[in-house]
Amino acid sequence: MQVDVKQLNGLTLAYVGDAIYELYIRTHLIESGYVKPDALHQKAIQFVSANAQATIVHAWLNDNVLTEEEASVVRRGRNAKSISTPKNISIQTYRYATGLEALFGYHYLHKNKERLDKLAQLAIKSIENEDGNDSDG
């Protein structure tokens, strides 16, 4: 069965994108020397939290990093109506984070590995620059 990625709703794209984004982050952390499970988990939270994801998306939109098509995918993810509600963050933050995940899902399902790699690198660099990039593996 062939799925038309452009027809998938934002939450479906985000469902896939969440896993893909987290895999990029986990791989990066291991390659950076984080090997203890607790340290891996604590460091990963800095990258995969909704606040971090929303910050990344806002920066990309403000700096025109995304193509018009990519910005449209982010909007689709952001505007998708979820039945779950966030616990410790604003709905707006949660929705922007969903937009980032939708973008990763979109590129993954389109097999745009080169662009996925580039966006993951930009996301990682953005969070590390904000955080100061420490390593205690």
Instruction: Give the catalytic positions in this structure.
Output: 18
- Would you state the torsion angle of the CA atoms of residues 41, 73, 98, 89, taken in this order, to the nearest 10 degrees? 120
Question: CA–CA separation, 102 vs 11, rounded Å?
Answer: 7
Rg (CA), the chain: 15
| Cβ neighbours of residue 113 closer than 8 Å, sequence gap 6 or more | none
C-alpha closest to that of 90 among 52, 44, 56, 50: 50
Question: CA–CA separation, 5 vs 3, rounded Å?
Answer: 6
- Residue 26: CB atoms within 10 Å: 17
